[in-house]
Structure 1
Amino acid sequence: MKALMPYRWWIALVLFAAYSIQYLDRVKSSVLTPSMVHDIGLTTSDIGTGAFLMLLFYGPSQYVSGLLTDRFGAKRILIFSVIAWSIMTVWMGHIQTREEYLWRMALFGMMVGTEYVPSARILMRWFNKEGRARAQALLSWAWILTPAWASVLATQLAAHADSWRLVFYITGALGVIPLLMIVTWVFDRPEQYPKITEADLEYAYRDELAAGTLRQGQYANAQGEILSHEGLRFRDFFRNRSYVAVVFVDIVMQITLYGALTWIPLYLSDVFGFSLKEMGLWSAAYFIAGAVGSFTSSYLSDKVFHGNRRVMILTCFIGLVPFIALLASLQHADHALLLVALCGMGFFGNMAWGPFLAVPAEIFTPEVYGKAMGFVNGAGYTVAAFSAKIFAALVVVDGAGMKDYSYGWYFIAACVLLGVIAASQIRPQRTTPAPAAPAAKRALSS
């Protein structure tokens, strides 16, 4: 019986679903911040410090998880990550003091910075250049689309239960779902899946087959064969201009993403006076538009621009700046302009995920994607940690206690302009012609 879809897309869906559940914590912590601030007695500075600590430890954890992924396998690291996430999420519901909050945020970053790189590493091996950006875009929906529904779910549940803590207890228990999904359905490599077909193997290793690194039908020791031809050392990454550019692109993307996650809910609450329920609904507009932008750009990157990732990355940054400036200029509840600003930021601000996350695998090889992408994300999150502190310091409070977030948004806009310069340095990778395949097998390549 013919499968409804290639197994690689089933793995992509499973990883998206598992990562979405893990991403719930950051969304809840963001949209429930106003309630937590009131209950625990946190200040704007404390929120900035919490985001700083989480990202500060989350960054190095990305690199370490990349090294461990390449050495021990992505599936094992993912299982650890899910268990750690569940424990950290339940702990958040117990927080009583400022000090506990800051300790939890630091440990959360350290323990849970292990979820992305293993997931992406698996996708980079199962997909070739024709589908990598779309696979990464689907995974990126975990941090783009999840806030769209999770922000509404968290605020509605907290409002009806009259307790933000209950939300953390319930979602922490949901960790058993991604754990079972990963154990049951995820395989590090195509050749490890018992029911893998020859067509799927040829698709996954198409680039290596075309380059002569592998011979058709000889996939049992594919990883060893590929690595024996590469001989890459860590310092070799930085001799590639495109890789260095991707590091800076990631920094800008993380600053933008965590600027939205951390500050949009507080901005809507403080400047526009939205209630908890209203804030969740308005925050969702940014993330729904982001999901559309992410997949649209990734489809164009794969199918229209044929792996030229630079085009959509530049489109992302150039299109994003005007909408950040618009949001910064809004000081009154003009709902139409606010909706335009949030949707525009979401659409353009998330267009680069699929294209740029695929670049390291195409510059080098998926076999070293763990440490290559681990360093990229580590740098991105570490710098984003300091950006959270900078944004908090730029929030101006007048004598009446009113807050002005404009300078914080202008800071993010300035970072995005630097991203334009970085993206322009990414060089399109030469596409090696794929070997001819029978029509039936070509049908599986999409």
Structure 2
Amino acid sequence: MGKRIPYRWIIAIVLFIAYSIQYLDRVKSNVLNPLISADLGLSTGDIGTGAFLMLLFYGPAQFVSGILTDKFGAKKVLIFSIVAWSVMTAWMGFVHSREEYLWRMAIFGFLVGTEYVPSARILMRWFNKDGRARAQALLSWAWILTPAWASVLATQWAAHAHDWRIVFFVTASLGIIPLLLIVFVVHDRPEKYAKSTVDDLEYAYADEIEAGTIKKGEYRDSQKTILGDTPIRFRDFFKNRSYVAVLFVDIVMQITLYGALIWVPLYLTDVFGFKLQQMGLWSAMYFMAGAVGSFTSSYLSDKLFKGNRRIMILTCFIGLAPFIILLATLKQADQSLLLLALCGMGFFGNMAWGPFLAVPAEIFTPEVYGKAMGFINGAGYTVAAFSAKIFAALVVINGGVKDYSNGWYFIAFCVVIGVIAAGFIRTDKQETAHVKNLLEAGRSRTNTLRNS
């Protein structure tokens, strides 16, 4: 009999599938923007405004979902998110004007910005520091790998159907798949799953067992035991410099990701004259390389560098900058250089996801990951919203020809900020001492009350 696959990896795969389906809408919307803008009469500025509104409301939704996740449980928030996603995806097929488009993008951002934090929160509790980066990398494939195949599928489908709207209607119906998977397979915590083995529980709580926070076999009240009566307050996050550094890293990563999602398809169409189907294939190159870079980086972060997250985050930004500059300087369809630029950007630009997304759970505790990561992601998306407007404003039109170079230089400048921020990230014992003291004080108070 073969070795049993740990249930935590089954959950990780299910969350990846569910998130991938939810991510289809953003990929379709971006890659079909040339068709949508032509049909609705949208300008480049309107596309930038739509992205701005989506991200502007998506950001606060991250923070709200983080608070709700820590309070009510990740599974409940995920179910709401999936239902909202299906409704909002179908709505896009009924949009017929600029105003409707902008309203839909804003409401979509707020309602659907509830999927990431609960998904990541579940992974942070089922995995310890030996596997967190890889688990997060697998989840990150939802927004890295999905565009690689969805961009091809959406453009091919729309081209053959001669209608971009049907793509949204059919995709909306796929929401039943993640809904059923979350309801029947996913559990917030290993002790809440009746079939969890001793190995599952000991692996999930290995960090807490090693630190003496909880004892082997005593998992029923693990959350209360870990937090005690003195939970980490929101302002305590900002006393940790690594948390603040991760905040800036996330902002740069979101700016880079949405720079690729929004502007690469338009860049290939406007500058290189690619037709719809050809543009979809070339856009996929960035994301296919990104999937390889993300998992490679996370494996090295977990196994080779033993949880030192800073190394691969720095590698991400330092390696990314030259390829962004290369893309900015391309003025004609030199396919070999274009392929190099897109693959290089994808490979290095997605290396940091797994390592940096694991940091808040390791400098604090998975029990407050929702609130901690919710604020970081919320800030990241909010700033990314304004970056979309900035990029759009930097696009120069001369004689009907669009020049995107200044937009790419803007993203390269942001990457330099990412390098500086990454240098401050540490997850060693000295960096987490303040948090451990807070939690220890809470547990001591709990024990005193029990014994009195």
Supply the distance in 1 between the matched residues of 2:370 and 2:330 (Cα, whole angstroms).
41
Given the two structures, how large is their TM-score scaled by the length of structure 1? 0.96
Q: How does 1:219-368 map to 2 (within 5 A)?
A: 219-228=219-228, 231-368=231-368
SS in 1 for 2:165: helix
Supply the distance in 2 between the matched residues of 1:429 and 1:134 (Cα, whole angstroms).
19
Deviation per residue, 1:126-182 (Å, 9 max, x gap)? 000000000000000000000000000000000010000000000000000000000
Deviation at 1:427, TM superposition (A): 1.4
SS in 2 for 1:397: strand
C-alpha contact (below 8 Å) 1:307/1:429 kept by paired residues: no
1:179–1:386 Cα change, 3 Å:
same
Deviation at 1:244, TM superposition (A): 0.2
Q: 2:54 corresponds to which residue? A: 54
Supply the distance in 2 between the matched residues of 1:425 and 1:93 (Cα, whole angstroms).
45
Q: 2:424 corresponds to which residue? A: 425
Supply the distance in 1 between the matched residues of 2:417 and 2:50 (Cα, whole angstroms).
26
C-alpha contact (below 8 Å) 1:213/1:229 kept by paired residues: no
Deviation at 1:211, TM superposition (A): 1.1
C-alpha contact (below 8 Å) 2:363/2:427 kept by paired residues: no
Deviation per residue, 1:267-305 (Å, 9 max, x gap)? 000000000000000000000000000000000000000
SS in 1 for 2:238: helix
Supply the distance in 1 between the matched residues of 2:421 and 2:308 (Cα, whole angstroms).
15
Supply the distance in 1 between the matched residues of 2:352 and 2:327 (Cα, whole angstroms).
21
Q: 1:442 corresponds to which residue? A: none
C-alpha contact (below 8 Å) 1:62/1:374 kept by paired residues: yes
Q: 1:19 corresponds to which residue? A: 19
Supply the distance in 1 between the matched residues of 2:235 and 2:81 (Cα, whole angstroms).
28
Supply the distance in 2 between the matched residues of 1:104 and 1:367 (Cα, whole angstroms).
34
Deviation per residue, 1:94-124 (Å, 9 max, x gap)? 1000000000000000000000000000000
Deviation at 1:82, TM superposition (A): 0.2
Supply the distance in 1 between the matched residues of 2:291 and 2:41 (Cα, whole angstroms).
34
C-alpha contact (below 8 Å) 1:42/1:98 kept by paired residues: yes
C-alpha contact (below 8 Å) 2:359/2:427 kept by paired residues: no
Deviation at 1:429, TM superposition (A): 2.3
Supply the distance in 2 between the matched residues of 1:356 and 1:230 (Cα, whole angstroms).
26
Q: How does 1:175-214 map to 2 (within 5 A)?
A: 175-214=175-214
1:172 equivalent in alignment to 2:172 = yes
Q: 1:435 corresponds to which residue? A: none
C-alpha contact (below 8 Å) 1:151/1:280 kept by paired residues: yes
C-alpha contact (below 8 Å) 1:191/1:220 kept by paired residues: yes
C-alpha contact (below 8 Å) 1:53/1:105 kept by paired residues: yes
1:429–1:345 Cα change, 3 Å:
same
Q: 2:158 corresponds to which residue? A: 158
Deviation at 1:207, TM superposition (A): 0.8
Q: 1:9 corresponds to which residue? A: 9
Structure 1: tracts of 5 or more residues without a match: 433-446
Q: 2:400 corresponds to which residue? A: 401
Q: 2:28 corresponds to which residue? A: 28
Deviation per residue, 1:61-98 (Å, 9 max, x gap)? 00000000000000000000000000000000110000
Deviation at 1:3, TM superposition (A): 5.7
C-alpha contact (below 8 Å) 2:214/2:225 kept by paired residues: yes
Q: 2:389 corresponds to which residue? A: 389
Deviation at 1:199, TM superposition (A): 1.0
Supply the distance in 2 between the matched residues of 1:331 and 1:188 (Cα, whole angstroms).
50
Supply the distance in 2 between the matched residues of 1:230 and 1:395 (Cα, whole angstroms).
51
Deviation at 1:44, TM superposition (A): 0.3
C-alpha contact (below 8 Å) 2:362/2:427 kept by paired residues: no
Supply the distance in 1 between the matched residues of 2:200 and 2:132 (Cα, whole angstroms).
14
Deviation at 1:231, TM superposition (A): 2.8
1:27–1:72 Cα change, 3 Å:
same
Counterpart of 1:358, as a letter, is: A
C-alpha contact (below 8 Å) 1:316/1:350 kept by paired residues: yes
SS in 1 for 2:37: helix
Deviation at 1:229, TM superposition (A): 7.0
Supply the distance in 2 between the matched residues of 1:85 and 1:97 (Cα, whole angstroms).
21
Identity of aligned residues (%): 76
Supply the distance in 1 between the matched residues of 2:350 and 2:27 (Cα, whole angstroms).
16
Deviation at 1:2, TM superposition (A): 6.4
Deviation at 1:384, TM superposition (A): 0.3
SS in 1 for 2:121: helix
Q: 1:441 corresponds to which residue? A: none
Supply the distance in 1 between the matched residues of 2:19 and 2:279 (Cα, whole angstroms).
24
1:223–1:294 Cα change, 3 Å:
same
Over the aligned positions, Cα root-mean-square deviation in angstroms equals 1.1
Supply the distance in 2 between the matched residues of 1:3 and 1:99 (Cα, whole angstroms).
56
Q: 2:412 corresponds to which residue? A: 413
Supply the distance in 1 between the matched residues of 2:116 and 2:93 (Cα, whole angstroms).
24
C-alpha contact (below 8 Å) 2:137/2:298 kept by paired residues: yes
Counterpart of 1:401, as a letter, is: G
SS in 1 for 2:129: coil
Deviation per residue, 1:30-82 (Å, 9 max, x gap)? 00000001100000000000000000000000000000000000000000000
Deviation per residue, 1:201-250 (Å, 9 max, x gap)? 00000111111111110101001101107631110000000000000000
Counterpart of 1:137, as a letter, is: A
Supply the distance in 2 between the matched residues of 1:229 and 1:244 (Cα, whole angstroms).
25
